Amino acid sequence: MPAGRPELTLPDDYKERMLELGKKGKGPVHMAKACGMAKSTFYEYLKKNEVFSDAFNAAMVECELWWQDVGQEGMFMGGKDNPFQAGLYALHMANRFGWSSKNESKTDITSGGEKITGITREIVDTPK
């Protein structure tokens, strides 16, 4: 009897399952459940199987589209009984898809052809 973990068997329709979940705005945890695996196993399998990873990426495109549509619709909801929560939406999108409102840039500065790696500020007493 062979020892170790049994071979992973995916449902025949795993691609369709993931795509349908993505179209409903569901993410990786829902997709892992639909494929009958733990979240950690799901992420490991994404690294090992290119076809599985491609199916997941296609499903995540659908997922992001769903969330963008929700945001677009929500912007025009209005009214005191059903206001759009822009801050909550922005936070959710940043955490789910890595969206950011920050603009960061890095610049390498050189002096005489050498990269400047630090600047020291020195306060000197001047004669009075």
Distances 96 to 1, 18, 90, 100, 108 between C-alpha atoms, Å = 43, 17, 10, 11, 31
Query: Quick check: is 102 in a domain?
Result: no
Domain count for the chain: 1
Contact 45, 52 (CB under 8 A): yes
Range from 34-43, 61-70, 73-82 carrying the lowest mean pLDDT: 73-82
Query: Quick check: is 9 in a domain?
Result: no
Owning domain of residue 78:
14-96
Query: Quick check: is 106 in a domain?
Result: no
Query: Quick check: is 85 in a domain?
Result: yes
With the CA atoms of 60, 65, 68 and 70 taken in that order, what torsion angle do they form, in degrees rounded to the nearest 10? -100
User: Which of 5-14, 30-39, 90-99, 111-120 is most confident?
Assistant: 30-39
Query: Quick check: is 6 in a domain?
Result: no
Query: Quick check: is 53 in a domain?
Result: yes
Tens digits of residue pLDDT in 73-90:
777 676 677 777 788 888
Query: What global pTM score does this model have?
Result: 0.65
Query: Quick check: is 69 in a domain?
Result: yes
